[in-house]
C-alpha cells in the first residue's frame, strides 16, 4: 500500500466515526433527545456491522481456500442480528 493510499485509508477511517461524533455533539447541544441520539448511534452501528459482514463475504469469495467455511454463515448471522436489534429496539419503544 502506498503512502497516499495509507493516508486515504486513515482519513476514511476517521470519517467513519463522524456520524457518532455528530450524534454526541447534537445531543450535547440539545438538538436531539437522548432517545433520538441512541437511535442514530444504534442505526449507524448496524450499518457498520453489515458492512463488516460484507467484507467477510468478500474475503471468503476471493480467498475461499484460506478462509474457514463458517465465515459465510457467521457473517450472515451477525448482519441479521444487527438489523434485528433495531427492530426489537423500535418495537419496545413504540
pLDDT tens-digit readout, 8-62: 999 988 998 898 888 889 999 999 999 888 888 888 989 998 888 888 888 888 8
- When computed from its CA atoms, the radius of gyration of the chain, rounded to whole angstroms, is 17
57's grid cell = 463475504
CB contact set of 72 (below 8 Å; sequence gap of 6+): 56, 57, 60
pLDDT of 2: 92
Rounded CA-CA distance 50/32 in Å is 25
- Per-residue pLDDT, averaged over 50-79, amounts to 84
pLDDT of 91: 60
Amino acid at each position: 500500500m502506498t503512502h497516499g493510499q495509507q493516508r486515504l485509508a486513515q482519513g476514511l477511517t476517521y470519517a467513519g466515526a463522524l456520524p457518532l461524533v455528530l450524534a454526541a455533539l447534537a445531543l450535547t447541544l440539545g438538538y436531539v433527545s437522548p432517545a433520538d441520539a441512541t437511535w442514530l448511534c444504534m442505526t449507524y452501528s448496524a450499518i457498520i456491522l453489515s458492512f463488516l459482514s460484507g467484507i467477510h463475504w468478500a474475503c471468503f469469495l476471493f480467498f475461499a481456500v484460506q478462509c474457514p467455511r463458517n465465515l459465510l454463515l457467521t457473517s450472515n448471522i451477525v448482519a441479521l442480528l444487527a438489523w434485528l436489534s433495531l427492530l426489537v429496539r423500535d418495537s419496545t419503544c413504540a
